[in-house]
Amino acid sequence: MKKLLLLCLFIFGMFLPNYAQTYHNTNITSDAIWYPIGNPHIVDGNFSVSTGVTLTISAGCIVKFNSSRYITISGTLNAVGTVNDSILFTLNDGQSGTWNYLNYSTGSSGTISYSKFEQGNYTIYLNGSNLVTINNCLFENNSYGLRIYNSAIVELYNSILENNNYGIYVNVSSPLLHGNLITGNGDYGLKLNGSCIPDLGTIATEGNSIYNNGTYDIYNGTEDISALYNYWGPIGHFMIPGRIYDVDDDDGLGEVFYVPWGNASHTLALTQGDPPTDLLISQEEGIIQLNWTAAPDATFYEVYTCSHPDTMLTSWTQAATEVYDTNWSKTGDPLKEFYFILSIIGE
């Protein structure tokens, strides 16, 4: 009977809501650890982590900020979650706007992993930090996923930045960005200003997938950069330049060097081959049919449509991908469409 009672109490306790909450609003001057038992941890006042001091946020913690609140780190802040027990940073219930940021200031350091950040402003602001490593994190619905300024060593890898206004904003820093998905951000996926030479991946390391961001996927306001091992999404081969702002748009900027990869694993490189010939267009019962003679070196073709021939190529719509045959069809009115067919060589 005693064993059964203990078991029932344990099972019942697992489903009891945790009404504990811990408020944080004073400076941390000696090493401290936050545990899930104190959830939610509410930052209701700005405070700092002193030089030489470490704040550890344990796996499973929920950290809620009141509007505009922030933590300044002069020492170390570590927030290390796990695959099954992550950490959440979010806006406190009933608050409007955004919380501000984790401000890694001059000389600070830290490791953040398996954490989710939402409803933040700068969110993680690396402002003169020394060494900060971020991996396997999710940034969504923030003003900025990550803002980096004048920081020595910043590593971000295997993370997702989506549905923010800016994915990553870098100024006077050269971060290592490997294996990240940067997509669906309203303004820019990655914006670079000042003196920046980011490491965006090499043949020996995993690059990033940067696509479907609002204004540009990359804005290069600095010198030449290499983005050779990054994937630009399922868009047309010749549409990629329109997703990158660099010297082609402003003579005073550097160039972004890239390869039009055909997949996110960067194993299929696409180059433009000889154009197809003998293009014929026909319509029967509302079906538009395109037929052409195969180009000798083409692996497949990309078909684009637009409603006016003066439309810039970068704004055309890709109608199909990986069309391995020499024909393509759709339902529509050929008098309102113009077609462009590109031969692609897969390497």
Residue 310: per-residue pLDDT: 52
The region, left, alpha or beta by phi > 0 then psi within -120 to 50, assigned to residue 141 is left
- CATH number for domain 270-346, candidates 2.60.40.10, 2.30.40.10, 3.40.640.10, 1.10.150.120: 2.60.40.10
> At residue 76, what is the residue type?
T
Residue 15: per-residue pLDDT: 34
* Percentage of the chain lying above the pLDDT 90 cut: 63
Tokens in use for 326?
């020499």
Per residue, the 3-state secondary structure of 251-284, as one string, reads: CCCCCEEECCECCCCCCCEEEECCCCEEEEEEEE
Contact 69, 45 (CB under 8 A): yes
Q: Tell me: the pLDDT tens digits for 19-65?
A: 579 999 999 999 999 999 999 999 999 999 999 999 999 999 999 99
The region, left, alpha or beta by phi > 0 then psi within -120 to 50, assigned to residue 158 is left
Residue 14: per-residue pLDDT: 36
- Burial of residue 301 (CB within 10 Å: 0-12, 13-18, 19+) is buried
Residue 297: per-residue pLDDT: 72
Least confident of 27-36, 54-63, 174-183, 194-203: 194-203
d(CA 203, CA 187): 29
Q: Tell me: the pLDDT tens digits for 112-144?
A: 999 999 999 999 999 999 999 999 999 999 999
Least confident of 85-99, 158-172, 283-297: 283-297
Flag whether pLDDT at 260 surpasses 80. Answer: yes
The phi and psi torsions of 309 (rounded to 5 degrees) equal -65, -20
In this prediction the pTM is 0.81
Q: Tell me: the pLDDT tens digits for 77-94?
A: 999 999 999 999 999 999
Flag whether pLDDT at 261 surpasses 60. Answer: yes
Q: Tell me: the pLDDT tens digits for 224-252?
A: 999 988 999 987 777 889 999 999 999 99
d(CA 268, CA 78): 38
User: Which are the contacts of 285, defined by CB distance < 8 A and separation ≥ 6?
Assistant: none
Flag whether pLDDT at 170 surpasses 80. Answer: yes
Q: Tell me: the pLDDT tens digits for 11-25?
A: 333 333 455 799 999
